[in-house]
Amino acid sequence: MTMEPVALADPPPSTAEDAPTARQKIGMFYRAVRQPITLICLAILALQIVIALAAPLLAPYDPLQPNVQHRLESPSSAFLLGTDDLGRDTLSRLIYGTQTALIASAQSVAIGLVLGVSLGVFVGYRGGWWDRIGMRIADVMQSIPALLLALALVAVIGNGLGKAMLAVGIIFAVGFMRVARAVVLAERERLYVDAARVLGLRSSSIMFRQVLPNIAPPLIVQASIALGTALLIEATLSFLGIGVDATAVSWGSMLDASRQHVSEQPLLAIFPGAAITLSVLVFNLLGDGLRDASSPRGVGGGKRKKPAKNTAATAEAEQNGTAKAVTTAPASAPTADAAKNALLTVSGLTVTTHTGAELVSGASFHIGKGETFGLVGESGCGKSITAAAILGLLPKGVEVTGGSVQLDGTELTGLGGEALRQIRGRRVGMVFQDPISALSPVHTVGRQLTDAIRSHSGLTKQQAEERAVELLSLVGVPAPRKRLLDYPHQFSGGMAQRVVIAGALACDPELLIADEPTTALDVTIQAQVLDLLAGLRERLNMSLLLITHDLGVVADICDRVGVMYAGQVVEVNTVRGAFNQPRHPYTEALLAAMPHGANGSEALATIPGRVPPAWAWPQGCRFHPRCTYAVEECKTGFIPLDDGVRCRRAVELKLAGAK
Amino acid sequence: MLEERAGARPGARPLLSVENLTVRYPLGRSITGRTTSLAAVNNVTFGIEAGKTLGLVGESGSGKSSIGRAILRLAPISEGKVIFDGQDVGGFGRRAPASYHRDMQVVFQDPMSSLNPRQTIGTTLGQGINRHRPMPSRQLDKEVIGLLDSVGLPSYHADRYPHELSGGQRQRVAIARALSTKPRLIVCDEAVSALDVSTQSQVINLLMELQRELGVSYLFIAHDLDVVRHVSDTIGVLYLGRLAELGPADEVYDTPGHPYTQTLLASTLVANPDKQAERSARRRELGPVSEPPSPLDPPPGCPFHTRCTFVTDVCKGDIPVLTTPLSPTQQVACYHGATVRG
């Protein structure tokens, strides 16, 4: 029984970066061995294991056979590292000591892992009383030092390294149990566990096949560090004479022996000491390296690609001058006129990452005084990066590499930190998507507002407070004076966004930039906040740059709109113009893809494929692989933004507007 | 090809019926030993016929996801009944029968967290198939490729990990996983809300295509009334855990009978400046809507009365029940249902 494919209007085309051959290996160890220190540690560890296994072959002498003729000799060709008080070869003893050290630490960690992980997964998954009792026992166990428990156990059940390490293993188990439980608790709340339950998978199957693999990375890190601790404890016990007996060799007992003869042969303590130090260091560094390699990025992203040499970008850079010339060409006289009165003029803005990928390529638009301009597009098209570039708030490794941003005649690109801070506070306000995370959770709303007001004006504390009350009532927060004393978590999402807007308005900005200001809000609250923004713009006579993926938001409050695709502005027009008579196929496709209140008898229009990543912008028109109107000439050359549209076929195409 | 099931006859008893469902989450115990709880869903009743879609709309805290989770046995059924194909879902005890797990599937909102980051797509899909239809591994591989194909993904995606796919592709995988058991009902919990416009329309089309091909039913949970209207046969509007309105999609969308549905519709943005201007005007006509009350402390009487422009004293008394003041099929829980339609 095979399934027949359901006919799809748009099987997503497999792009080059999608092809199976381009796959990169992922995995913690793959990343770990790319760190030099971790690689060295792994090599040393491997060497130690080889030495331990091949001890009988490598050791030149019997490590236990006394030879009184050669007591306490210095290193020589016969005894490379000298001899101890009974004339035994130090090198041979060191080699056999490796065996003891590795076996003892592996033993205790293995006991700890088996015991700890099974208990941790069990109590974490079952929860309830099992969890409570298990964790209280763990608390008690953890308050006992491992060494102390080992000593006590040895006192009760007699000498022997094995028994001592059993005790150490039990103490380690508590640590592993905590880690395992914490991961299980976090993972069992994830939706994929719910999905597995809905599939009817058995609890054991969910636990071992779904949840357990996620515990591995933190446990491996913990285990590596525990190995170091165990090695140290073994050496300590043997040093105290309750570890290995006379039939085995340990670095700890070698140290003990050297202690009595340190005046006669000072070198005796150095070699086992160095061996212990090195081994513990190796385990700890290995733990660090593995932790870095298993950081969350590992599972999520970790994909790094070198951008292909972007010839289209170069062409753009070369032709930037022409592109600008074209936008302000006499043919579009009204636009040029409007541009002269513009508050914000962005021209040829290009933003590049340090790897050379162009996130924004030659973006040009202007915003008039008192105007609301919407920048719209799908995620990954560069609209938020454009806003960040205007404000000089680009993330590390990303910078403006071309073009200009002028605020009422002041050039903003290339301004220093302090000058930009002044602009941001006094002339441009900013509102982000998530209001709760835009406010500090540990200070009251009043404190945050007054701080913002005072940092940009000479007001006293009282005056700033009055201003804060004024601002909160301006944005429609009820009982503003009382609410100044509240913390952000006491506000609902919509109210918190009003507070953020109030903060952005603190110093009467000429321009307010709002990046997806209503995306995180409920529908009815979104409508309120949009009404508020539109009303404020009118009352305060400021300009508004609204960045959104929602064409509905643009239709609601914007005067003009810029449509962005793949880092370029592809169409600029009045909202009515762009929506009723779109001139770029991408605008048309976006409008058509929106459900528009019809019943589902006809399928929604779709755009095949998806937005390409920034390192793989297509040649020619960047939209051509997804465009239904694309012809051969769309695939090459640079296409300028001409009379508000970036399309070779703009003149001949008759595109459909919003339904 | 998935075989069409016998239950797909029109007019037969509903595949799923939810009767007076109440979902309560325990919030903890106070010092006096009294347990407090949050009633996320209150006395909700509806049914879904085979091959049909019921859309549930509401804002955050309306209880729409809790209804889906209760049906899937991921949330407690505190009162009332969920009856699927004649079986009482609440009466299954600790382990539900395999047939229930096979027939009922889910697609969550966030495909990143609903797929196990450490399993390949092939493994994820294979698990679902193997649980209900164990088969040798070579046949399993073929089946996985068939599933990927049915959601429009190329076969090499079977070796990929979730983070290597885009949001839309991941959501296709989540749909494929739901299809792996050949279900009869899929709960789509905000399944398209996190996607970009063009991807959203692709996934909506895929879901509807699958319904036509396979006769599967959907409980489609979303906050966007336009999207819900597009996919649904019946729409239920939830407010603070209660159904405010329930009826055929056209009637609820074109002639909303509950003030809340009207507000919701007027607040839903549309990508058309002229239509949007009409909606904004209507929104202002309905008056400013205040903040929603906390689900922890719902107002007495009609839960919407604190935000309603048509409110009178009767609204503050008893909780209104669903009646049919407008048409025999459109149920509205409003004392003024007949008059507010304007």
Q: What's the whole-number average pLDDT of chain A?
A: 82
* Confidence band for A244, pLDDT divided at 50, 70 and 90: confident
B60 in reach of chain A (CB within 8 A): yes
Alpha-carbon distance of A498 to A477, in angstroms, equals 7
pLDDT in the model for residue A20: 40
Whole-number pLDDT of residue B238: 95
The token duo for A458 is 């000479």
User: A591–B271: do the CB atoms touch at under 8 Å?
Assistant: yes
Interchain contact, A603 vs B205, CB within 8 Å: yes
* Mean pLDDT, residues A513-536: 88
- Check pLDDT > 60 for residue B2: no
Residues 6+ apart with CB under 8 A from A646: A568, A569, A570, A571, A584, A621, A639, A640
pLDDT at residue A6 tops 60: no
Q: How far is B230 from chain A (nearest CA, A)?
A: 5
B25-72 confidence digits (pLDDT tens): 888 766 676 777 888 999 999 999 999 999 999 988 889 999 999 999
Specify the 3-state DSSP secondary structure of A657: coil
| A398-407/A342-353 β-pairing | antiparallel
User: pLDDT-based confidence at B12, cuts 50/70/90?
Assistant: low
- For A5, which of B2, B72, B150 is closest by C-beta distance? B150
Neighbours of A355 (CB within 10 A): 13
> Using CB atoms within 10 A of its CB, is residue B71 exposed (0-12), middle (13-18) or buried (19+)?
buried
Ranking A118-127, A576-585, B50-59, B262-271 by mean pLDDT, the lowest is: A118-127
Burial class (CB in 10 A: 0-12, 13-18, 19+), A392: buried
Interface of B with A in 85-124 (CB under 8 A): 96, 98, 100-102, 104-106, 108, 110, 113-119
How many residues would you count in chain B? Answer: 342
Q: Give tens-digit pLDDT for A340-352.
A: 678 999 999 999 9
Please report which confidence band the pLDDT of residue A26 belongs to, taking 50, 70 and 90 as the band edges. Answer: low
Say whether pLDDT at A325 is over 50: no
A379 vs B: CB within 8 A: yes
How large a percentage of chain A has pLDDT more than 90? 27
pLDDT of amino acid A7: 38
pTM beyond cutoff 0.90 = no
Q: How confident is the model at residue B213, as a pLDDT?
A: 92
Domains defined along chain A, listed by start: 28-56+85-300 (1.10.3720.10), 304-419+542-659 (3.40.50.300)
Hey, which residues 303-342 in chain B have their CB within 8 Å of chain A? none
Nearest by CB to residue A600, choosing from B147, B152, B231, is: B231
**Once rounded to an integer, what is the mean pLDDT over residues A199-212?**
80
Q: B3 pLDDT exceeds 50?
A: no
Higher pLDDT: B252 or A21? It is B252
Please state, in angstroms and rounded to a whole number, the distance separating the CA atoms of residues B97 and B6.
20
Cα separation, A641 vs A571, whole angstroms: 8
| Measured distance CA(A69)–CA(A15) in Å, rounded | 78
Q: A481-487: long-range contacts at Cβ-Cβ below 8 A with a sequence spacing of 24 or more?
A: A483/A445, A483/A446, A484/A444, A484/A445, A484/A446, A484/A449, A485/A444, A485/A445, A485/A446, A486/A444, A486/A445, A487/A441, A487/A442, A487/A443, A487/A444, A487/A445
Average pLDDT of the segment spanning A197-212? 81
State the nearest Cα–Cα gap between B133 and chain A, in angstroms.
11
Please report, for residues A460, B67, B231, the alpha-carbon distance to residue B220 in angstroms, rounded to integers and kept in the order given. Answer: 55, 11, 8
Please state, in angstroms and as integers, the Cα–Cα distance from residue B46 to each residue in A198, B93, B322, following that order: 21, 23, 11
pLDDT at B298 over 60: yes
**Are residues A555 and B276, on separate chains, in Cβ contact within 8 Å?**
yes
Mean confidence (pLDDT) of chain B: 88
Contact A305/B at CB under 8 A: no
Residue A655 confidence (pLDDT) above 70:
yes
SS3 content of chain B, % helix, strand, coil (to 5): 35, 25, 40
Helices A161-188, A90-126: axis angle to 10 degrees equals 40
Q: What percent of chain B has pLDDT over 70?
A: 94
- Of the candidates A593, A208, A183, the residue with the CA atom closest to the CA atom of residue B271: A593
Position B327 pLDDT exceeds 60: yes
Give the pLDDT confidence of B207-242 residue by residue, as tens digits. 999 999 999 999 999 998 999 999 999 999 999 999
Structure tokens given for A546: 């609204």
Phi, psi of A401 (to 5 degrees): -115, 5
Taking an 8 Å cut-off on Cβ atoms, the answer to whether A523 and B106 are in contact is: no
Which amino acid does the sequence have at A302? G
Does the pLDDT value for residue A323 go beyond 80?
no
Nearest CA in chain B to A300: B163
Span B130-153, average pLDDT: 91
How far is it, in rounded angstroms, from Cα A575 to Cα A169? 70
Residue B267 to residue A550, Cβ atoms within 8 A: no
Cα angle value A361/A362/A363 (rounded, 5°): 100
Residues in chain A within 8 Å Cβ distance of B60 = 522
Label the pairing between strands A358-368 and A342-353. antiparallel
State residue A564's pLDDT score: 95
Judging by DSSP bridges, how do beta strands B104-107 and B16-29 pair with one another?
A: unpaired
Which chain B residues are Cβ-neighbours of A552 within 8 angstroms? Answer: 268-271, 276
**pLDDT score recorded for residue A295:** 57
Q: Taking 60 as the threshold, does the pLDDT of residue A178 lie above it?
A: yes
A594 touches chain B (CB under 8 A): yes
Q: Which of A174, A162, A44 is nearest to A104 (CA)?
A: A162
Q: Cα–Cα distance between B61 and A494 in angstroms, integer? A: 14
Tell whether B199 lies on the interface with A, counting CB pairs under 8 A. Answer: yes
With 70 as the cut, is the pLDDT of residue A27 above it? no
Contacts of A598 in chain B (CB under 8 A): 229-230
Q: Tell which A residues from 600 to 659 touch B, by Cβ distance under 8 Å.
A: 600, 603-607, 610-611, 658-659
**Interchain CB contacts (distance < 8 Å): A and B:** 252
3-class state of residue B81 by DSSP: strand
pLDDT at B6 over 80: no
What's the pLDDT score for residue B33?
A: 67
- Burial code (b: 16+ CB inside 10 Å, e: under 16) for B279-302 equals bbeebeebeebebbbebeebeebb
Contact by Cβ (8 Å): A165, A230: yes
Percent of chain A whose predicted confidence (pLDDT) is above 70: 88
| Total residue length of chain A | 659
User: CB distance A6–B270 less than 8 Å?
Assistant: no
- Per-residue DSSP letters for B209-261? HHHHHH--EEEEEES-HHHHHHH-SEEEEEETTEEEEEEEHHHHHHS--SHHH
Does A569 have pLDDT greater than 80? yes
Q: Does B151 touch chain A (CB under 8 A)?
A: yes
Q: Are A405 and A349 in contact (CB under 8 A)?
A: yes
Q: What pLDDT, on the 0 to 100 scale, is given for residue A418?
A: 82
Mean pLDDT of the A229-240 span: 88
The pLDDT tens digits of the residues spanning A55-79 come to 888 888 888 888 888 888 888 888 8
Convert the pLDDT of each residue in A291-302 to its tens digit: 777 654 433 333
State the average pLDDT over residues A90-113: 90
Residue A560 clears pLDDT 60, i.e. is over it: yes
Report pLDDT for B89.
Answer: 92
Q: Nearest chain A residue to B127 by CA: give it.
A: A201
Rounded to whole angstroms, the Cα distance separating A417 from A391 reads 11
Whether A621 and A634 have beta carbons less than 8 Å apart is answered as yes
d(CA B291, CA A164) in angstroms, rounded, equals 65
Regarding predicted confidence, which is higher, A579 or A8? A579
Question: Residue A585's pLDDT band (boundaries 50, 70, 90)?
Answer: very high
The reported pLDDT for the residue numbered A258 is 84
* B195 three-state secondary structure: coil
> What is the model's pLDDT at position A28?
66
CB-based contact, A4 to chain B, within 8 Å = yes
